[in-house]
Structure 1
Amino acid sequence: MVFDIIKKRRSVFPAQYNDKPIAKADIEKILQAANWAPNHKKTEPWRFKVMMGESKEKLGLFLSLKYMENVASPKQMKAKKLIENPKMAGAIIAICMQRDPNESLPEWEEVAATAMAVQNMWLCCAEMGIGSYWSSPPLIKFMDEFFEMEDGEKCLGFFYMGHYDGELEDATRRPIEDKVVWAD
């Protein structure tokens, strides 16, 4: 049931991943789920760049270098983490958004549609037993130096994925009644 999958979805971080590879067919299925996200005016703004193998290591090195170049007082631990996290992932998908060239709708609607595509991916991963996590470091503003991107395309973050061992903790939420106002 969809409600059970929604409740089961968790952020699973690279340090939790094991070495089991993710099959390309599974990644394709996850991307197909993304493609069915709702979007206004049928702009389908989501774009994805899948990194596996050596491209993950290249991403880590790039992010670490950009961090060291652009932060006033860089920390060695942070630079090391930027290098190591991509290596631990089974795959990383750069989450990008292609702005409608006619600007026929507000940009926030295309960002929201892309986020809904990522939610579809996340739910699909939860159902398939693949851990995932959306990272959106400030360094994404430099991704046009790493990837070839179209005019109007921007990176919104990285979707880290990996198999993991064990069970995930149950999440908690405050009651919905605390967040809803009913009007008659």
Structure 2
Amino acid sequence: MYTEDLLSIIKKRRSVFPPQYNQEEITREELALIFEAANWAPSHKKTEPWRFVVLEGPSKDRFREYVKRVYVQGTPTDQLNDRKINALIEKCDKSNKIVLINFINLEKNPEWEELAATSMAVQNMWLMATALNIGAYWSSPANVIANVDEFTTMEEGEKCVGVFYMGKHDGDLLEGSRQPAESKVKFLEY
């Protein structure tokens, strides 16, 4: 791969939201590539703390009901919003795959390092998904991730830090923009 190709994929990576997804299936082969990319993220002391739970079929339907229940239970009655409930349902229904982003802290490193390693694994997933024309979106709804052990069994020390919605999409995405890299880099020469 040429450096320009890699930089092009990095620049094309976007948050692609569930309403933009079509109904085309993400294959097991594509998922294998995405998780293989994640698996090559760096981690201090080689802890490889990232853990992923793929939801599809009936488990995706159960997750939709879980998300709805957590929202309703955690929101004062006078603040409940049907539009918000419908948006939560739509995210689940329009996503072909939903991935719970977890990490396990084995107490070998500070927790922030394990979270950083997991974030790098997700970035690798996102880049591979971009190369495969699969849209993705990382969401971190506080009540959902804090109570995910009500939805699925977690290992000792495992913590959920997000929900990765995925789906294939049609058409071009908006071009991204960033401030110049030079404005964020300082060279010390003394």
Task: Give the TM interval when normalised to the shorter protein.
Answer: over 0.9
- Determine the structure 2 residue equivalent to 1:67: 71
Query: Which range is displaced more, 151-160 or 77-86?
Result: 77-86
Identical-pair percentage: 48
- CA deviations on 1:7-49 (whole Å, 9 max, x unpaired) are 1111100000001111111111111111110000011100000
TM-score where L is the length of structure 1: 0.96
- Determine the structure 2 residue equivalent to 1:55: 59
What secondary structure, in the 3-state scheme, does the structure 2 residue paired with 1:96 have? strand
- Determine the structure 1 residue equivalent to 2:92: 86
- Determine the structure 1 residue equivalent to 2:28: 24
Question: 2-side partners of 1:177 and 1:44: how far apart?
Answer: 32
Question: 1-side partners of 2:172 and 2:98: how far apart?
Answer: 22
Matches for 1:118-129 after TM superposition, within 5 Å: 118-129=122-133
Question: 2-side partners of 1:71 and 1:127: how far apart?
Answer: 38
- Which of 67, 82, 85 aligns to 1:76? It is 82
RMSD over aligned Cα, in angstroms? 0.9
What secondary structure, in the 3-state scheme, does the structure 2 residue paired with 1:87 have? helix
What secondary structure, in the 3-state scheme, does the structure 1 residue paired with 2:25 have? coil
- Which of 97, 101, 107 aligns to 1:95? It is 101
TM-score where L is the length of structure 2: 0.93
- CA deviations on 1:163-183 (whole Å, 9 max, x unpaired) are 111101110001112212211
- Determine the structure 2 residue equivalent to 1:3: 7
1:142 counterpart = 2:140: no
- Which of 141, 161, 165 aligns to 1:156? It is 161
1:12 counterpart = 2:16: yes
